[in-house]
Structure 1
Amino acid sequence: MLQLEGAKCSFLLCLGISIVICSAIYLRAKVRMKPEPLIVSVGCRPFDAKCSTFLSSPEEGLEWHRRDCQVESYIFNSHLNCSQLTKDLHFITRPLSDEEESYPLAFILTVHKELELFVRLLRAVYAPQNVYCVHMDAKAPWQYRTAIRRLVGCLPNNVFLSSRSETVTYAGFSRLQADVNCMRDLARSEVAWRKVVNTCGQDFPVKSNLELVRYMRSKEWRDRNMTPGVRQPTAMGYRTEIQHREIVGSYVAPRGRAWKKEPAPHGLKVYFGTAYYALTRDFVDFALTSPVAQDLLEWSRDTYSPDEHYWVTLNHIKEAPGSHVDGGWNGDIRSIKWRDQEGTAHKGCKGRYVRDICIYGLEDLPWIIDRNSMFANKFESDSFPEALDCLEQWHRDKQLRQATVPIEPSWLLAIQVHSNRSSSSSSYHNSSAGGP
């Protein structure tokens, strides 16, 4: 009888302890499930009034307020752990749809300055199913390099630095070599990426990741490479007919009319086009292993801006995987306002021209959004910051509205705030995206 009573007491004691433990776990989980308050960062630059044209209309009595304006300080803050860093920088941490998860993309990002622009570009194109190779210019300041290494180190599963860093020269072979270096690294990636897209630090996406996937999988481009370009015009002949030399990290200069180049190897016809592309994985393997591709790469070393002829010339080889010999300028890779196209392709730059390319201002956004290219180029964070603020929020809002998964509060770059109250009374309304 005493043994029975003792066993009964032991059972009741264990039961009581189990109830206490389960209650504690439940309450802790309940606290965790409670939505975190959405805070507006103090001192954030407000959206320009003209930006309201592009943003989804807030509810009556509410207006959009930015949550993010401390990009650089977050990265340089060594006391923040990685989970806090990526959360505070509003990186999207889950695939937004099954369609995107089943079609991973690879990205090459070549950067050398403007840390804030790089962070905003990376988080705009970032998705956990994709893979990203970051080529950091060898001449970049050490503070910049340290910050980028820290951010990349917080995204170790699918973001990495190129295994070889070039000192990149504008219009030099080093710019092409930087892409090739990343391609070699991406070819060894365990991520089963389908196509690779290259970007520079002053780009910003216009299409969402879902739209990029659908564009790549469209009937026209499903099995093809995108390398817009045409047979090299006579006016561009100097680029490949005369030898050039690259003054490392400075400029590229012609050696003189006497320094003629031999014709392109294997009887290839040289094409001229954009340095930006979307390439199939089979084509990348071809570019890295084919003797024809390697001979053309070596021949291009002393040409001017070889990245503007190399990829498009390879893509006009009939035997190349995914080649598009009749492609012409097809493929909506970039929205760029060139000075010499003013009055025809566009109605002028609302920002300012640098090297005959428009640095976009806020009033350029209608043209960019209407074009709906994959990316727009170029932006500067100092010259016209309100243009990037507006496009970034428009792009993120579009991404989240297309999502088929519940939205995490940390993914929001801006929230709707009562216009006549403090930022502490903020709320987010996005029923079409599923809510936080």
Structure 2
Amino acid sequence: MELQQFKAFITIIILSFISIILMLYYFTGLLSSKLPTFVYDINLKTIPTKAPSPSYIPSKSTIDNQYLLHKVTISNSSNRILTSQNEWISTKPPYSTVVLPEYKALGVDCSRIFNNDVEYTKTIIKQQDSIKHTIFPDQKVADYAIDCTKYRRHYTTTIPTREEADYPLAFQILTFKDAAQFEYLLKTIYRPHNQYCIHVDKKSKQPFWSAILNIAKCFDNIEVIDEKEAVDVKWGFYSVLEPEIICMKNLWKRKTKWKYLINLTAQEFPLQTMQDLIKILKSLKGANSLEGTVARRNVERTEKDINMKPKIPFNKGITIAKGAVHLVVQRGFVDYALHNTTALEFNDWLKDTFHPDETYFPSLNHSPQLHIPGSYTGNPETDPVTYPFIGRFKNWGGYPFDYPCAGKRVRGICILSIGDLSLLANRKELFANKFHLDYQPFALQCMRELIYNRTRDELAGKREIDLSYYENLKMVKYHIGSSP
């Protein structure tokens, strides 16, 4: 009898020991690489999902393969823990608690699309017309933003990392319609330590104005240019450049000494997480990123005015260049553009020319003789390999990539769609242009899912960006000045 009791006792001890081992294995796995990743969307029902693993690889050796796609590496987290409430909490101050609720875009498996599952993507494209997408009209967005306490819950209102806190940015956004799409962008790039200026086109309808104003009043670091000062933007004229200057002046007056300024439109969306964006900008060491060409510029734009009358040349030492209005510029460049006498005179000189928005900033950035902070000292010819513009991915087709457009082209540019997502998954540019929320809404929903997944992975220490591409860009090696 005593022997049987002893055997039973030994059995219980062994089983208990095995149970403890299994529990330790389970929880260790849960808190390490086996940790499920979640993403977030305010407007849709929250559902847990594994993070997508984008692996777009062109079918042959291309410039994309060699230069323009990230190779993602994984690292372990030493400074963060996961609580049972899905809150990432730093073990080292002054980081803040970051809450990322669970999310999956409903009605579509984004990971299969990002992983270039061609047949599944075709199926979703065929089915999407029969799927009802709820896109809030401007007035509903305006009404929803009246209660700021509730509205702010859907934004990142704490600073996730010390690195972000120490490197504030300035964003200026030009917008004119679709408040719901504006929210897609703002919710993704908003951080309480950054500064934001919004310019609403003067001819925008009142419900849209109400929506943007109501959103902005909920945040101390977002300002909307007053309707009296707002510009009626007309393509090809100075009215395209003027809102950029107005927002620059607004941001310059802020108390926060931001490091870089990035200008956007509401039809764009980030290709990088905010934490990766900071790392990339720091790796530029003060260099600006703007498009520029002297050899291929439209000479007639500055030789004649908008009435086709000859213009007196601007003989103040500026190299006239052409490029897109997209800006990734350090603080010193903005100071020069707003306050230097030569820059101000050049701005005035351009007011009666065609497309001055494609002349002003590119010319300043490619005139090294002016010693403008961050400006480029090398050959002023943007090239996808030797001197790429990293601020924006835009699919115009043609040289050098001849990208197909799975969506539709409007005035030559591809409106990005579901079928284009595998191309975007690992790109090294900072933002993609352009999306239309009312055209294949799944495209933007999946992009937001992707960025939130990656943000969460970074906070878990499971993802780390390779910065070698940016560190070795020519503009980093050949530019005026140092880091801001």
TM-score by length of 1: 0.72
1:165 aligns with 2:230: yes
1:217 aligns with 2:273: no
1:194 aligns with 2:259: yes
Between structures 1 and 2, the one with greater strand share: 1
- After superposition, the C-alpha distances for 1:371-428 in whole angstroms (9 at most, x for unaligned) are 23100001001112111111111112212222269xxxxxxxxxxxxxxxxxxxxxxx
Structure 1 residue 150 displacement after superposition? 0.3
Counterpart of 2:393 in structure 1: which amino acid? Answer: S
Identify the residue that residue 432 of structure 2 maps to in structure 1: 376
1:321 aligns with 2:321: no
- After superposition, the C-alpha distances for 1:214-243 in whole angstroms (9 at most, x for unaligned) are 11110xx21222112121525x22222221
Q: Deviation above 4 Å: which 4+ runs of structure 1?
A: 33-36, 38-41, 68-74
- Mark the CA change 1:78 to 1:276 in structure 2 (over 3 Å): closer, same or farther: closer
Identity %: 28
Separation in structure 1 between the aligned mates of residue 432 and residue 86 of structure 2, nearest angstrom: 35
Counterpart of 1:99 in structure 2: which amino acid? Answer: E
Identify the residue that residue 289 of structure 1 maps to in structure 2: 339
1:86 aligns with 2:142: no
Is contact 1:103-1:213 (8 Å) kept?
yes
TM-score by length of 2: 0.65
1:26-175 matched pairs, under 5 angstroms: 46-49=106-109, 51-54=111-114, 72=137, 75-77=141-143, 81-87=147-153, 90-155=154-219, 157-163=220-226, 164-175=229-240
Separation in structure 2 between the aligned mates of residue 402 and residue 35 of structure 1, nearest angstrom: 14
Separation in structure 2 between the aligned mates of residue 34 and residue 274 of structure 1, nearest angstrom: 45
Is contact 2:268-2:431 (8 Å) kept?
yes
Is contact 1:107-1:196 (8 Å) kept?
yes
Structure 1 residue 78 displacement after superposition? 5.7
Structure 1 residue 97 displacement after superposition? 0.9
Identify the residue that residue 390 of structure 2 maps to in structure 1: 332
Q: Which moved more, 1:183-192 or 1:393-402?
A: 393-402
Counterpart of 2:358 in structure 1: which amino acid? Answer: E
Alignment partner of 2:198: what SS? strand
- Mark the CA change 1:270 to 1:232 in structure 2 (over 3 Å): closer, same or farther: farther
Separation in structure 2 between the aligned mates of residue 340 and residue 388 of structure 1, nearest angstrom: 25
- After superposition, the C-alpha distances for 1:292-318 in whole angstroms (9 at most, x for unaligned) are 101110111122221112111111232
Separation in structure 2 between the aligned mates of residue 232 and residue 199 of structure 1, nearest angstrom: 27
Is contact 1:152-1:161 (8 Å) kept?
yes
Aligned counterpart for 1:357 among listed residues 406, 413, 417: 413
1:277 aligns with 2:343: no
Separation in structure 1 between the aligned mates of residue 177 and residue 277 of structure 2, nearest angstrom: 26
Is contact 2:86-2:101 (8 Å) kept?
no
Structure 1 residue 51 displacement after superposition? 4.5
Is contact 1:75-1:85 (8 Å) kept?
no
Identify the residue that residue 239 of structure 1 maps to in structure 2: 301
- Mark the CA change 1:153 to 1:79 in structure 2 (over 3 Å): closer, same or farther: closer
Separation in structure 2 between the aligned mates of residue 293 and residue 79 of structure 1, nearest angstrom: 40
Unaligned runs of 5+ in 2: 1-83, 88-99, 116-132, 462-484
Is contact 1:264-1:270 (8 Å) kept?
no
- After superposition, the C-alpha distances for 1:332-375 in whole angstroms (9 at most, x for unaligned) are 1111000344xx41431110001100001111111122323100
Structure 1 residue 74 displacement after superposition? 5.6
Counterpart of 2:318 in structure 1: which amino acid? Answer: L
Counterpart of 2:372 in structure 1: which amino acid? Answer: A
Counterpart of 2:108 in structure 1: which amino acid? Answer: D
